[in-house]
Amino acid sequence: MANDSVKLSKNLLRMKFMQRGLDAETKKQLEEDEKRIISDEHWYLDLPELKAKENLIIEERSFVPCEDLKYGRMSFKGFNPEVEKLMALMNPRDEEEKQEEEEVSRMQTDVTDEEMALRYESLVGSMKKKFVKKRERAAMEEDLNQNVEETNTKKAFLKPQD
């Protein structure tokens, strides 16, 4: 099969090992589609579809997120060093400190993100060549212009002519 996208049958797609790679959203969609296929034997309620109303008001019972309260254990002047470590770990870090951390981490990287992205584009192509089968490699080397698409006919069964 020289085509990259092989058409898989619906039954194959419904198998468990094919579903693992899908996101939760597409899974839900597929489940809903299946539910809608109702045969005559299934009984169903003849009601219109009700959508749950979107709640605009979210209730929050605790003060902690409202007032940004800190962690409950504290130690002053180094009385309990373990608790001081916990304080540093658990307390929400201030915004100024967070910004400083981001700047520091940016300076330490020698290669920027954009360079990495460019590097990866060419890397993917060269790695692909390594794992390609012999027949496909021959076909790939022929067209240097990757614009031309390959159209190979499927090898169907030829009835022996008698």
Partner 1 sequence: MVTESCFFRTAETDGCVSCVSPLFQSVKYQQQHVSGPLVVPMFSTLKDRVGEVLLPGDEFTCDTDDTISLTEHVKPEKVVCGPGLRRSGDRLVVCKSGVLRHKQPNVFWIDSQQRRYVPAKGETVIGIVTTKSGDVFKVDFGGSEQASLSYLAFEGATKRNRPNVQVGDLVFAQFSIANKDMEPELVCIDSSGRANGLGVFGGGGLLFRVSLGLVRRLLAPHSEVRSDLEQLFPCELVVGMNGRLWVRSSSVQQTLIIANLLQSCDTMTAPQRRELFRRVKQGAL
What distance in Å separates the CA atoms of residue 45 and residue 138, rounded to the nearest whole number?
A: 60
In the stretch 112-141, what mask flags binding to partner 1 with x, by CB under 8 A? Answer: ------------------------------
Nearer to partner 1, 45 or 89 (CB): 89
Smallest distance, Å, CB 103 to partner 1? 23
Residues 48-107 that bind partner 1 (CB under 8 A): 54-80, 83, 86, 89-90
Smallest distance, Å, CB 84 to partner 1? 9
Contacts of 87 (CB under 8 A, 6+ apart): 71, 73, 74, 75
Smallest distance, Å, CB 98 to partner 1? 14
Residues 11-50 that bind partner 1 (CB under 8 A): none
CB 31, CB 22: distance < 8 Å: no
Cα→Cα distances 80→56, 69, 83, Å: 45, 21, 6
Nearer to partner 1, 62 or 153 (CB): 62
Smallest distance, Å, CB 110 to partner 1? 33
Residues in the chain: 162
Cα→Cα distances 149→61, 66, 139, 146, 162, Å: 61, 59, 11, 7, 37
Interface with partner 1 (CB under 8 A): 54-80, 83, 86, 89-90
